Chain A
Amino acid sequence: MAVTGVLRPGHVALRVLELEPAVKHYRDVLGLEEVTRDDKGRVFFKAWDEHDHHSVVLREADEAGMDYMGWKVDSPATLKKLAGDVEQSGLCTDLSWIPAGEHPATGERFRFTIPTGHVMELFAEKGIVGNNCGTDGENTNPNPWPDGMKGIAPSRFDHCLLYGDDLDGTVKLFTEVLGFGLAEQVMAGEDKSFMIGAFLSCSNKAHDVAFIRQPVKGKFHHASFELRSWEQVLRAGDILSRTKTSIDIGPTRHGITRGETIYFFDPSGNRNEVFSGGYIYYPDKPTITWWDVELGPAIFYHDRKLNEAFLSVFT
């Protein structure tokens, strides 16, 4: 089955306490390209191998955390259909249309708040700026990677992990309305029937978004960016130490998704991840189940125990 409907995470909009230190982090340490700034003071970035205009948006605010996450869908017709489906589901609140151009080079976006309190958007159109690899025009006779990369330089914005209370409602929305598959779940309780974690895929990736049940609304655990090898994750660790960036944990491996990872913080305390690996997900792949008693190795496969920060530190 081809990837249709919701294609991928298209952008994440984060609030930062001070703009310029944040720009320095996302541009020079994480190594995203600054694409543009707008008259509201927002800064737009993309990772080197993303063709779309931007995937990370920063704005200065008094509170750290995530404003919203946007999903690219395959066509304007799908956007209209899914907007109708979300409305009909009755699962979401604060439904609205954001006009084209509110994000630079971006078509209209359908915005809604999901049961865990996070604001999500769907959009169909975003300008293509390319990955600067072509040698005879964009996408013609390309090199494998472009010149001039800075910092860790992940290839793309990959997924978010989010914390919220109504996990059941959010999982129902993503699986039954938006067409995601449940790649992995963490189950608690005596008969293992109470879901505390859900890892959801709209593509061939092990996850495009994940949620963990916590007694909060709309909280942000991390935004993750993709690297292509374990060695690049180790190199990321070197860069984070060289730049005295606050590291949370790693390099290590996740049991869930099998990804190799390092967690660190932007200058406002928003957690970032760079990771590599994982498996190929297909819609007919059986869901992987983890029991709560195995949550340690599920999250950090080598330490085999959860550190306090995993559940307590979020914005």
Chain B
Amino acid sequence: MHFVVTIDNTGETFRCSDESNVLQGMEQLQRKGIPVGCRNGGCGVCKVQVTEGLYTKRKMSRGVISVDEEASGCVLACKIYPQSNLRVEVVGKMARAVLAQKSMSFDFGFATATVINQPDEEK
């Protein structure tokens, strides 16, 4: 069964099977929008806030998703499987890059990287 995933930040949509995780669904269609990191629940780069819809999930690293975050729908796109249409907002540490990529003006000096990379989960 397929559902529609909408990325709030950019308005992009893609169809995703309930047997694929949201990141995999996006990558299979050669779509961008959610930053891709390890794809395996460890790095936190694909962190999204689910703003609407139902999903099932698999284990994700506590180093990047706290218990409270997980409970409030702040999860990793690589570890959630849609059970209805979904709306997600990209909030991971490369979120800024999503918009930068969209304007095709992506610049990657080390200093910029350091700023992008401030780990918001380690406050």
Binding site for B on A (CB under 8 A): 17-18, 62-65, 188, 196, 214-216, 246, 248, 265-271, 292, 295, 305-306, 308-309, 311-315
Contact = CB atoms under 8 A, between A and B. Distances in A.
A315 B113 contact: no
Contacts, number: 95
Nearest to A186: B110
A269 B61 contact: yes
Contacts of A309: 36-37, 45
Given A216-B122, A292-B110, A312 B117 contact: yes
B89 to A, nearest CB: 18
A17 B113 CA distance: 27
B94 A17 contact: no
Contacts of A215: 114, 117-119
Contact of A311 (B39, B40, B61, B113): B113
A57 to B, nearest CB: 17
* A17, A65, A292: most-surrounded residue (chain B CB, <10 A): A17
Contacts of A216: 117, 119, 122
Interface string B63-74: 100000000000
B110 to A, nearest CB: 5
Summarize A's interface: helix, strand, loop or mixed: loop
Interface of B: 35-43, 45, 59-63, 93-94, 97, 108-110, 113-114, 116-119, 122
Contact of A265 (B42, B60, B108): B42
A308 B42 contact: no
A268 B35 contact: no
Nearest to A220: B42
B94 A265 contact: no
Contacts of B97: 308
Given A270-B38, A308-B116, 7 more contacts: A18-B59, A63-B63, A65-B61, A246-B39, A248-B38, A306-B108, A313-B38
A269 B43 CA distance: 6
A265 B43 CA distance: 10
A-B pairs, 6 with minimum CB distance: A269-B42, A269-B38, A64-B42, A63-B63, A313-B37, A269-B40
A248 B37 CA distance: 8
A152 to B, nearest CB: 18
Contacts of B41: 17, 64, 268-269
